[in-house]
């Protein structure tokens, strides 16, 4: 029998319980063992829940879980950062394998927790932290055995993708779509982590560090979110026969790397253009396997719970990479070399700004209520420096790279 200590009984935790209850026979046939939730950690043990877990299963005391002799796997689904870090660290120190869906804790403590698990010959798996229901981390790690991975990129946040899709196809403005997304549960009451790109950044930090086998920290990634996009921008992008997505990309370059999360304008017939609504996709390229594409639900109760339980099964079966999956390459941050053509809109049609901005313009799209242009090929950092020198506040412009 395999005993599980489940930390958190929110949406994903409830999904884990639901799938376990439905698939007990199949799981036993595969693993040869019964899988049983022994304890569940919650904040409020008196809260009414529709899930029946039996007597004495729910607790608000982590000590009851960490000291439980029959629990061998800790499944951490609290969503908290610092508390979850302490839970995971104690679980590993006590000799338990750990599965988590918490991208924030994996991103912030990636090297430490990966090293700790490897030293203790324990599993530390986090498939659900990056792609929700998309199996991406295990295939990526397996591909690394036979390939050098030179680039990984993806649409990694369902909230942003939903907002951009609705704006593009329905002609709605950002605030209107965000409100709908919040009502439907796609966006949080405070959507900052999603719309400003931090969620995508954390996922790219994990993907990029694994793919390039060298540490890419959160602060190494250039970041632009989608909160400044307007219906006007969408109209200009449509005229280019293109659409726009928030794409994270980490790429190897001359013994270094570039890493960026940024609104990206892509042709309507390109691959990522067909990844719509709350769906996600990840693409990586290896020198032997070529390009591999992964598509599916990036979030949701059952898809994410499915990824969590796939990690649990891998631990039980021993079918995961036992060594520390993080490489030891020392890669130089070469983000200053990022260059290309960009779409730039400034909501301050001042004569002086227009005069100075024309020097980087390849095509002027509008000079009326907004200045909008397509730039010449230029380094990203040069655009930011120019905007800063002109006193253009971040709230007054929208910037997106253009990929042909």
Binding site listing for NADP(+): 7-14
Cβ–Cβ < 8 Å for 211, 245: no
Rounded CA gap, 79 and 102, in Å?
Answer: 6
DSSP 329: B
Q: Which helix (H) or strand (E) holds 265?
A: strand 256-267
DSSP 376: P
Other CB atoms closer than 10 Å to residue 119's CB: what's the count? 10
Which residue ranges make up the annotated binding site for NADPH? 103
Rounded CA gap, 311 and 304, in Å?
Answer: 11
Which residue ranges make up the annotated binding site for L-homoserine? 188
Other CB atoms closer than 10 Å to residue 46's CB: what's the count? 7
Classify residue 312 as exposed, middle or buried by CB count within 10 Å of its CB (0-12, 13-18, 19+).
buried
Annotated catalytic residue: which of 38, 39, 203, 245?
Answer: 203
Classify residue 164 as exposed, middle or buried by CB count within 10 Å of its CB (0-12, 13-18, 19+).
buried
Rounded CA gap, 104 and 81, in Å?
Answer: 6
Q: Which helix (H) or strand (E) holds 99?
A: strand 97-100
Other CB atoms closer than 10 Å to residue 19's CB: what's the count? 17
203 counts as catalytic: yes
Residues tagged active-site:
203
């Amino acid at each position: 029998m395999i005993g599980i200590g489940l930390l958190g009984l929110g949406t994903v935790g409830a999904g884990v319980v639901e799938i376990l209850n439905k698939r007990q026979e199949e799981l036993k046939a595969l693993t040869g063992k019964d899988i049983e939730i022994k304890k569940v950690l919650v904040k409020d043990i008196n809260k009414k829940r529709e899930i029946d877990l039996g007597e004495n299963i729910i607790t608000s005391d982590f000590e009851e879980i960490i000291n439980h002799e029959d629990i061998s796997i800790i499944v951490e689904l609290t969503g908290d950062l610092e508390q979850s870090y302490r839970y995971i660290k104690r679980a590993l120190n006590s000799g338990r394998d750990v599965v988590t869906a918490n991208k924030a804790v994996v991103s912030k403590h990636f090297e430490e927790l990966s090293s700790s698990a490897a030293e203790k010959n324990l599993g530390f798996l986090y498939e659900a932290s990056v792609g929700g229901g998309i199996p991406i981390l295990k295939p990526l790690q397996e591909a690394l055995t036979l390939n050098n991975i030179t680039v990984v990129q993806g649409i990694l946040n369902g909230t942003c993708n939903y907002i951009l899709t609705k704006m593009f196809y329905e002609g709605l403005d950002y605030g209107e779509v965000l409100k709908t997304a919040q009502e439907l549960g796609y966006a949080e009451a405070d959507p900052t982590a999603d719309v400003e790109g931090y969620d995508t950044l954390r996922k790219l930090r994990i993907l990029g560090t694994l793919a390039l086998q060298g540490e890419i920290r959160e602060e190494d990634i250039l970041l632009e979110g989608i909160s400044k996009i307007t219906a006007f921008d969408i109209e200009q992008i449509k005229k280019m026969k293109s659409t726009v997505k928030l794409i994270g990309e980490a790429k190897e370059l001359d013994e270094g790397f570039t890493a960026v999360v940024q609104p990206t304008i892509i042709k309507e017939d390109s691959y990522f253009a067909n990844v719509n609504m709350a769906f996600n996709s990840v693409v990586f390229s290896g020198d032997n396997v070529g390009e591999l594409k992964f598509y599916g639900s990036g979030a949701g109760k059952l898809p994410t719970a499915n990824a969590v339980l796939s990690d649990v099964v891998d631990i039980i079966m021993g079918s995961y990479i036992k060594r520390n999956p993080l490489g030891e390459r020392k890669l130089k941050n070469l983000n200053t070399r990022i260059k290309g053509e960009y779409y730039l809109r400034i909501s301050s049609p001042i004569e002086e700004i227009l005069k100075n901005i024309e020097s980087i313009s390849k095509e002027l799209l509008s000079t009326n209520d907004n200045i909008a242009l397509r730039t010449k090929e230029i380094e990203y950092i040069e655009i930011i420096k120019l905007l800063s020198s002109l006193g253009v506040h971040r709230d007054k412009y929208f910037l997106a790279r253009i990929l042909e």
